[in-house]
Amino acid sequence: MMEQTIELIFQWGGAAFGIAGAGLLSSNVRLSPYGWLLFLVSSVQLCIYAVLIQAWGLLALNACFVCTNFNGIWRCLMPYLRARKNGCTDGTPEAAR
């Protein structure tokens, strides 16, 4: 029973964070770059879930998603955070130049 509960937490947690990340990124608002962090949490949770249920294809897919999420964090979130640190009020790197 406890094992089923843990599996459900990772399964539905991964789904919820993935949906929230997709919604945030697709909304194209000031905080959209944070969607990559939500995607990362989702992918890690789904990797754990895949290991628990021994779904190796799902694990491979989400391991690749972890890599693409780090790429999104590096290419989108980090420039956003640097621009904010440099005093840009809207967070876009172009406005900070």
Domain ranges of the chain: 2-96
Mean pLDDT of the chain: 92
Spatial neighbors of 31 by CB under 8 A, at least 6 apart, are 24
pTM score: 0.85
pLDDT tens, position by position, 83-92: 988 887 665 5
Q: Which residue has the higher pLDDT, 51 or 97?
A: 51
Flag whether pLDDT at 93 surpasses 80. no
Flag whether pLDDT at 7 surpasses 60. yes
Spatial neighbors of 20 by CB under 8 A, at least 6 apart, are 35, 38
Flag whether pLDDT at 96 surpasses 50. no
